[in-house]
Structure 1
């Protein structure tokens, strides 16, 4: 009988244990917090301070500038905390509640940096301009799959679709729909009402490269102009970075939305091969069919993944993304 490769979940056990330890620490911190502590929600992180929205008391919904205890680590938008008012009118965060989810990405040094907490849906925003790239989409999808969040591929600026770009855009969306991913489309001409159903009842994060219209979308959802947007250069089609830190917004029709900084690259070099195969949902079940447990999915005999690449069960675009990300992982290991 051919040997079966191990499940990626086996390789993730150590990280899961680490997450369990972190949750125990969070519960202990919450118990140790003074009973007079106030419940709060982190709206944004600014340097050594966080903007905390009061979740109880007479000042419900009021924002407070708060310092936080060093042992809490990095606080991010969406974190639920226990805080105390201070005499200067600000506050101190004493404890961090257990996180239901945490989205992270590596910084320039390869260290994982928290982006947003307690979210359940990720909107991967792409646009007709700048042209969407499969590899960047797949990087975000891998990250969402590993965290266990529901990804939605949102195509913006559909008013700019032409006969020239329509076929490629249709093929791109159909490729991800065939994998079971939800897709949606919007444009500057759509009313905010037409968009609310996508976000209602969820705590969502909008991610994507600069220039795709993330901040403009949020401004429409909020029905005001509190968010400053950057112009897309006519010569390059690339946007300027206008959001420097993730920030949480309450939507008028219900639901919360976190705007994350626009980025042009999304490095996944900190992952292991088992993480990568788990992040590609059509490749995930194939790994149990490989002849060898330690199959690297290259030229090994009996590799089910390689066979799927060759016979087209995995699309050429997705296969290319997988190979490219794997090369990045191996280069940094």
Structure 2
């Protein structure tokens, strides 16, 4: 059996956790991976998170482990790929500035973009001081200080699920899969960061499907006093003292509610990044890249020599993302042996 030679370069397009994992495994297999990352650092969205569900493990531990694994791997940051072509000899990636990178194969790990909460004007994001996104709340957790714009600690916080997910009005029909459990985790973290805070989660359908998720949901209620209301917020307004007044219908009891909170957190979903429409690869109805086969070819694209991993093909958990990156690297070894 022929073994891959170290000079065989594999392009890894995206330097989030999927790209880092894929590159590390490719190096173990004897290839020479090259990570091409559009931002100024590796780690993707996970690098901005505080703790991970359902174990509350610090996200930094995952990033540090992956960073150590790719420490000696060649990386180009600030490198956004505009086109990707392949033939029998390999793959060519070209940036918007015309730089060319060649490899025997490429694994696309471009991840996802966060939904722009400003598109849901009824919630006041960008207009009202104390309406924030779940990503911004994560940054507060990381700094160790959760506060309103005034600097005061909030006494009442509402978390709204499915902002930019399962929403026909903004063309986002898909479920982002991890928002529900993120809302549960963040509710717990809020009660730990701000003693005495009252947290209410507004949801459409609570989807706590993973191992340990249902247990975390129960813990949030029993041990942390988090309230859950099945209902969609129809409107958010700002009061004179910069609180947020909510109009919502409790669909379980069939009656409207009004509530004033100090902070409204919008759980923003995942959307396909712009590159999904520019690299020449087929996409799915949700905008993410389409795998060759959703059952037996999830890491294969329809283009020769191009592989897919992680949230490039749709919303996934961290565990699913890392496992798929390993699978893509192993498949490249199999195909190029």
- Normalised by the length of structure 1, the TM-score is 0.26
- Normalised by the length of structure 2, the TM-score is 0.26
Instruction: Name which structure has the greater RCO, CA cutoff 8 Å, separation 6+.
Output: 2
